[in-house]
Each structure stands twice: as C-alpha cells, then as structure tokens.
Amino acid sequence: MPLTTVGRNFIAEALIDDDTPTFFDNTNAHIGVGDDDTAFNAAQTNLQAVTNKVREGMEATYPQRSDNVITFRSVFDTGAANFDWEEWGVFNHASAGVMLNRVVESLGTKTSAATWQLTVELTIAIGS
C-alpha cells in the first residue's frame, strides 16, 4: 500500500513523539473514498475527487492491530458515498489531517440501495 509523503512523515514524528501527532485511533481514523482515478503520487495530501469524496469514521472496535498488521474498517450507509469508487485512503481527521495512503482502484458504483463496508489492512513489513 503506497504511503504518501505526509504519511511517511507522520510515522517518523510518531516514533519520537515529535509535534504531538493526531493518532489514527478509533476517535480520529477515517477511510475516505472518491471518484477520481488520477494516478497515485506520494505528494498528494487528499483524495483527488473534486466533489464526490466522503470520509467515514471507524467501526466501534477499529482500528485493530495483530502483530504487524493494522486493520481499519468503516461503514458507508445508504445515504453516503453514492458514486463510482475509484480511489480510497486512510486519514486521521474527518475533513483535514494526514492522508496516510492513497490507493487508486475501481471498487464499483455504490448506490443508495446499499450499505458498503470497506476494510483496509496495512502491513508493516521488514527486510526486502
């Protein structure tokens, strides 16, 4: 999963408790979706969609960690994010903050007839 530059910098800040970062915890973490398929660029700080983008907070017990895997999960109810899902990212704020990552992939078209759940697993790997 490609990290953004600000996501990488956040991790560095958090490691040494520099600048009191806003953590990606249950209170602050959000998954955002949008309808723009512009290629990923590490310098991006937000989803690229102009109007069709929505962020939803975490489900009650998320994020979760198991060793080196962090799982984020959000639910988009019938009234939210009803458009083509072409991009998504993990954020530490409902409307601003740090976009940890951004992934460009077509997940389908959500309509008001459905509630969708998006689960993101972030694996912290070692070695090469």
pLDDT score of 127 more than 80: no
Q: Does the predicted model carry a pTM greater than 0.85?
A: yes
Residue 85 CA to residue 53 CA, distance in Å, equals 9
**Helix-strand-coil percent breakdown of the chain, rounded to 5?**
10, 40, 55
CB of 31 within 8 A of CB of 74?
yes
The pLDDT, as a whole number, for residue 103 is 98
Reported as a single tens digit per residue, the pLDDT across 22-70 is 999 999 999 999 999 999 999 999 999 999 999 999 999 999 999 999 9
**Mean of the per-residue pLDDT values of the chain:** 96
* DSSP letter, residue 3: B
